[in-house]
Structure 1
Amino acid sequence: MILASKSPRRKEILNQLGFQLEIKVKDVEEVSSKIELTDKIKDISYKKVVEVAKENRTSFVVGADTLVEINGEVLGKPNDETEAREMLKKLSGKEHRVITAYTLINLEKNINISEAVESKVFFKTISNDEIDWYIESREPMDKAGAYGIQGLGAIFVDKIEGDFFSIMGFPINHFVKTLKKLGIDIKDIQKI
């Protein structure tokens, strides 16, 4: 299977289950004209995957995209430390949504699926010292919303409602259910 993503988290999640992955990515502008956030993130996920699938028509190609939303504002990856600090302050003491969309395409088999999984994350109130410490770790710099739930950012999370792995970047449970609907059993995943 081809993973159309450079995300080490997505690769790790899929590898843990036994997927044999080849990484291939295309530069795609991450924009969408869709209105609803869920549709927007599914569209961006699709665009990333379809470009790789066009050059690998017989392969299963999977990819994903994640966004963090609070009070109608989408928080992408921070461009610098100042932006990371602003994002973490916005999330401090509040609830936000994390939506991860994944796309699975195999052009030869006429498979084209895009799904989205939404979860809620509740942050504790974060002190300025904690924000400084976290930014110094460099962890927030390549993550939507400026935090990683699977790393040091876990200390900010009071609770979640939803799928941990979706918040991490790939809803593996949901994905395996999708494969099962396609007739691909868990024991066969190394073959795709």
Structure 2
Amino acid sequence: MEQSSRPRLVLASSSPARLKVLRAAGIEPEVIVSGVSEDDVEALSAAEFALVLAQRKANAVATRVTDDAFVLGCDSVLELDGEIYGKPASPTDAVERWRSMRGRKGVLHTGHCVIDTRRGKTVAETASTVVQFADLSDAEISAYVGTGEPLNVAGAFKIDALGGAFVERVEGDHHNIVGLSLPLLRRMLGDLDVFWPDLWNR
């Protein structure tokens, strides 16, 4: 396929993990960071919270894109006991989070929003994956938080890095835990008349 005929996908996120997921799937998106604040969202549920932020990110970047593109905004949060958790505010916060999560199940929600800037069409949906956390010892929690990894991600863990050993099983799309559900994105782009293989650049 010629480069000129390939749909232009713009990732409205600074997340290295989301970019890695797309690249592993054969897609090299453009990256434009949204710069959207996450502090003033009012939502009824964790899933809605993630979706609202994804929509804000996609909309913020779509207004800055001059040529035709499909702009993808995503945001992830962890739900535990009905509470919404994003990135830990500090190492102490991460330790307390893990003490609450260990040996239990949480739900990782990722909001996805795709805007077709040419036609002004938008599709948005949330993917949710149940995560069973291992029953970590205090020493394991301290060591993990000490690496700094839990401070940079929603839910205070990365399944595709050091935290992978602390997730015993998942129910749902494992890509969603990394921050982007590939099956959901394929369906959403299909709703916008994009043939998924047309996005492959290798």
Give the TM interval when normalised to the shorter protein.
over 0.9
> Aligned partners of 2:90, 2:145: CA distance in 1, in Å?
10
Structure 1: any 5+ residue segments left out of the alignment?
Answer: none
> Aligned partners of 1:39, 1:157: CA distance in 2, in Å?
25
Equivalent position of 2:59 in the other structure:
50
1:157 aligned residue (164, 167, 184): 167
Residues 66-95 of structure 1, C-alpha deviation per residue, up to 9 Å, x if partnerless?
000100111211121101101111101111
> Aligned partners of 1:16, 1:7: CA distance in 2, in Å?
14
User: What is the percentage of aligned positions where both structures have the same residue?
Assistant: 29
Cα drift, residue 190 of structure 1:
4.3
Equivalent position of 2:3 in the other structure:
none
- 1:84 lines up with 2:94 in the alignment: yes
- 1:122 lines up with 2:132 in the alignment: yes
2:11 aligned residue (3, 15, 18): 3
Higher deviation after alignment, 33-42 or 80-89: 33-42
Cα drift, residue 24 of structure 1:
0.8
Pairing 1:1-192 to 2, within 5 Å after superposition: 1-30=9-38, 31-57=40-66, 58-190=68-200
Count matched residues: 191
Cα drift, residue 17 of structure 1:
1.8
> Aligned partners of 1:39, 1:136: CA distance in 2, in Å?
32
> Aligned partners of 1:10, 1:51: CA distance in 2, in Å?
18
Equivalent position of 2:4 in the other structure:
none
State the superposition RMSD in angstroms.
1.5
Cα drift, residue 3 of structure 1:
0.8
